[in-house]
Structure 1
Amino acid sequence: MTEAISINDVNRHYLDKVMNLAEERDVEATEDIFDARGMKLVAKGGRISRGMQERLILHKLRKPLESSITVADGINSDVVVDAARRLTDSIAPVGSMHRAAGNNGTPPLDILKQARFGNAMSLMLTITERGGASALAHSVMVSLVSICLAKKLGLDERAQSTVALAGLLHDIGELYIEPEYLDSKRRLRPHEWRHVVVHPRIGQMLIQELENFPPAVAQAVSEHHERFDGGGYPRQLGGSNISIAGQVVSVAEMISGVFMRQDRPLERAALALKIIPGEHAHELVSAVSSVLRICGEEPGTASQDVALQAVYRNVQSLHGNIEAALAQLGALADSPLVTSRACKDLLARGLQQVLAVRRAFTSTGLDICTHEDIAEFMAHNREIHFEVGVAGKEIQWRLQDVARNLAMHGAALHAQEASLLQPLIAQLDAAG
């Protein structure tokens, strides 16, 4: 299901980013770099340059490259705190959360300032910053929001420090992935997700190998895409099998992405958090809901970024895809060609997930949009238009999540059973 990753092999995607950075900043060896046979490839203090790239790729190194290089004036805790302060000033919900959390023990920015990391993580964060200001801002926001949520849950300062580091470093594994699969303008097909779902595990391995953090930090990084109902990745953990820190960072990552939007982020965050009951732990949902209420009411202007008829057609299509997927799941469950326990279990999980999506479709009121006369009603109710558009997008993503999980786990099945899943995967993916 996932690609094999070894920390002792030089990753070509990461090395290419290091070389790009080295063309602008001083990147040098902090110690002699040897290959596995003892040949010195780079002397201590030597500057890393593009000319070394092939040499470093071809030779298996004695130690991970990441532990042997540093960048001048790299990202440190002071830079992170400055970035966090800018977020509290520029994004209203983040500022409100920060002010509310500041009344509960050590202020979040002070917790963040105490986050210490070595050369390897500094270099990775510097590369992240080079990829665009919003990339580093996202990592810092996840860290800051994680601290605020941890305070709301009553977690102690040790746990707050854990989520601060895990939130800041949660996406470092993406530096090791083929860039084309991370392009926000490209929509991944279900089978392509296998390139992306490894990044929490890569991040965990990097932290375990390169830093002396408490084990809970690496664990939380590995869990930041898991979901309480078992619908996440990479291991589809659920319930108490996900650490509290992992659950906090997971929710913080989700709502931070919403906060980056200018179009009524509070309403979007509230809906995304609750649309699938059980997707996140009840205690965490309650804590986030309380924090969102603290942030205050948003202006009552509804978004018109999606045309009325497009919203209506999308909801109609979603309804058709959900019902068609359920019919296919039922047929596959009864098929004599499905014989392995693994395939039967995979279909059973898929059925439960799609049924949960259908319940969400109904509970959010999207089912009324399947009636022909609803378009005229929506035309005179901009609030409903906005809510339907947001709910529809959330439902789309959840169906695509099911397609992703079926594709990833289906790849391990016998070829005949795997082929039987393809029409179902295509049906679910068509929701987008």
Structure 2
Amino acid sequence: MNAPEQTLAPDGAEDNPHYLRAVTDMADRCNVVTNEAIYTDKGIKLVDKGARVDSRLYDRLVRYKLRGRIDSHLAVDNAVTVPALVQLASAQCESDTLAYLLVHTLEEGARDRLLVPLRGLLLPPPLAFKLTVMREQHPALFEHSVRMMLMAVYLGIKSGWSDRECVPLATAALLHDIGVLHMDPVWHDPTHKVTGVGRKQLTAHPVTAMVVVRSQGLYPKSVEQAVLEHHECMDGSGYPRGMRGEEISPMGQILLVSEVATAFFEKYADDAPAQRLSLTLRLNHRKFPPALVACLLPVLQIKAVQAQVDVALDEVEHIVALLSDAFGTWESLCAPLPPEWLAADSGRACAFVARRLDALQKTLYEAGSHPEQQAEALPHLQGDSQSLAELALLGREALWQLQVILDATHGRWPKLAERADIGDAAVADWHDACTARLKPAAA
């Protein structure tokens, strides 16, 4: 397997324009000064030591390649510290739904058990500065990182890890999204849709984060690896390297489950996050480590977070129809294709779609929620709100996975619209048909 830096070639830990903009914009509101002079890589002095920084400096910084990284040249008042992180995590244990559940699922004194590894964090000034930029410019991302720490430490504890073993785990969880600071700010807009070649920037952010962590020369290799792996999946469908099963490190497996769990409680805060996450973990059992899922499912069964979801029969029927159309359309379009084109090793877009749709349909059958199964059951569920709610949640998850397949196909083969051969034409026609049908559902 190629090294991640070679496969993705991201900007790494360099101070790209997006990060420099975040730093200088923060400096308009916070007291940021240079603790040493800033030079270009050619030795030209740009800023004196002790100078006050603000957004007017952006144009000068972005014009040159700097000697060293900007974080090592700057200091900011009220920077993020380990005690401040512990304080925020403690507050989340009281007021945040997911953190509260973790505390009350563990034995007595659980909050202290969750916080102990956090007190052992090593936070050098450059990373403290980056986290301060995250806190000031992207507060939701900062809170997510703290929530990730608590979730990861919980899973570590439930997996039998000692407090000492949980310290690097907490470190990896805290720093896992540090690479997002180097992304275009449009990615922080929840309405932004990830499509096409734009996915490259998204898939690069774990690599960027790993390079940032590595550049500190402070953390064990396991922390770097886990940061790189936090978007991998056990079935190989994750990124950036498409790793499978035990190829993913134990710490990386904890982070990938933690990422999914925290994302659901953040995205669906007011719309049954516990039920949605529980169904997703069960529906996608090949994506996630079973032992860690077993640790998490009891948290999601607590009655206090089991929201009442009201779903009409016609909504479920609509979801079933969308899925049925997507599967049926592909079956018709791929029927004329040579069998060897659909083989996994062909490298063709049609093979990718066939493989991913087969996996999705198999998963739906195993969960009893394939359109063919639901079509038979629906006439008998009128008035059964609990069953309808579960089918609707399963169906929405399946539609989301279908959209992931559509986006991934378009991203990997951006020239499909040219329809160079019958295989590409089949995929392009299927993509267009599904997109047209799913847009009203997404809206």
TM bin (shorter chain): 0.7 to 0.9
**Paired residues of 2:13 and 2:212 also in contact (CA < 8 A):** no
Q: Counterparts in 2 of 1:192-231, with a 5 A limit?
A: 192-210=198-216, 212-231=218-237
Measure how far apart 1:96 and its partner are: 3.3
Query: 1:17-67: per-residue Cα shift (whole Å, max 9, x none)?
Result: 111100000122232221111111122222222222122111111212233
Supply the distance in 2 between the matched residues of 1:120 and 1:330 (Cα, whole angstroms).
56
Residues 264 and 50 of structure 1: CA distance in aligned 2, closer, same or farther (over 3 Å): closer
Measure how far apart 1:369 and its partner are: 7.2
2:315 to 310, 315, 322: 310
1:279 to 287, 293, 296: 287
Matching residue's letter, 1:405 = A
TM-score between the two structures when normalised by the length of structure 2: 0.85
Report the more deviating stretch, 179-188 or 325-334.
325-334
Q: Counterparts in 2 of 1:30-429, with a 5 A limit?
A: 30-99=35-104, 100=106, 107-131=113-137, 133-210=139-216, 212-260=218-266, 261-293=269-301, 296-298=302-304, 302-304=308-310, 308-328=313-333, 331-332=336-337, 334=339, 343-344=347-348, 347-366=350-369, 367=371, 371=375, 374=378, 377-410=380-413, 416=420, 419-420=424-425, 421-426=427-432
Supply the distance in 2 between the matched residues of 1:8 and 1:289 (Cα, whole angstroms).
37
Measure how far apart 1:8 and its partner are: 6.6
Residues 152 and 53 of structure 1: CA distance in aligned 2, closer, same or farther (over 3 Å): same
Supply the distance in 1 between the matched residues of 2:306 and 2:56 (Cα, whole angstroms).
57
TM-score between the two structures when normalised by the length of structure 1: 0.87
Measure how far apart 1:262 and its partner are: 3.3
Measure how far apart 1:425 and its partner are: 4.2
Query: 1:208-251: per-residue Cα shift (whole Å, max 9, x none)?
Result: 11352212112111111100000011111111111111110110
Matching residue's letter, 2:145 = S
Measure how far apart 1:203 and its partner are: 0.8
Q: Does 1:21 align with 2:26?
A: yes
SS, match of residue 62 in structure 1: coil
Supply the distance in 2 between the matched residues of 1:332 and 1:127 (Cα, whole angstroms).
52
SS, match of residue 33 in structure 2: strand
Matching residue's letter, 2:429 = P
Report the more deviating stretch, 72-81 or 127-136.
127-136
Supply the distance in 1 between the matched residues of 2:285 and 2:13 (Cα, whole angstroms).
42
Supply the distance in 2 between the matched residues of 1:380 and 1:361 (Cα, whole angstroms).
23
Q: How many residue pairs align between the two structures?
A: 426
Matching residue's letter, 1:267 = Q
Measure how far apart 1:297 and its partner are: 2.5
Residues 407 and 368 of structure 1: CA distance in aligned 2, closer, same or farther (over 3 Å): closer
SS, match of residue 196 in structure 1: helix
Supply the distance in 2 between the matched residues of 1:246 and 1:412 (Cα, whole angstroms).
34
Unaligned runs of 5+ in 1: none
Supply the distance in 1 between the matched residues of 2:48 and 2:329 (Cα, whole angstroms).
62
Supply the distance in 1 between the matched residues of 2:337 and 2:19 (Cα, whole angstroms).
42
Report the more deviating stretch, 417-426 or 247-256.
417-426
Residues 104 and 92 of structure 1: CA distance in aligned 2, closer, same or farther (over 3 Å): closer
Supply the distance in 2 between the matched residues of 1:274 and 1:387 (Cα, whole angstroms).
12
Supply the distance in 1 between the matched residues of 2:96 and 2:399 (Cα, whole angstroms).
27
**Paired residues of 2:199 and 2:411 also in contact (CA < 8 A):** yes
Measure how far apart 1:6 and its partner are: 3.2
Supply the distance in 1 between the matched residues of 2:169 and 2:335 (Cα, whole angstroms).
41
- The equivalent of 1:11 in structure 2 is 16
Measure how far apart 1:190 and its partner are: 4.1
**Paired residues of 1:308 and 1:379 also in contact (CA < 8 A):** yes
Report the more deviating stretch, 154-163 or 201-210.
154-163
Seq. identity, %:
24
**Paired residues of 2:365 and 2:373 also in contact (CA < 8 A):** no
**Paired residues of 1:319 and 1:370 also in contact (CA < 8 A):** no
Measure how far apart 1:368 and its partner are: 5.8
Residues 118 and 333 of structure 1: CA distance in aligned 2, closer, same or farther (over 3 Å): farther
Supply the distance in 2 between the matched residues of 1:184 and 1:105 (Cα, whole angstroms).
31
Measure how far apart 1:318 and its partner are: 1.6
Residues 423 and 143 of structure 1: CA distance in aligned 2, closer, same or farther (over 3 Å): farther
Supply the distance in 1 between the matched residues of 2:36 and 2:107 (Cα, whole angstroms).
42
**Paired residues of 1:2 and 1:197 also in contact (CA < 8 A):** no
Supply the distance in 2 between the matched residues of 1:173 and 1:299 (Cα, whole angstroms).
32
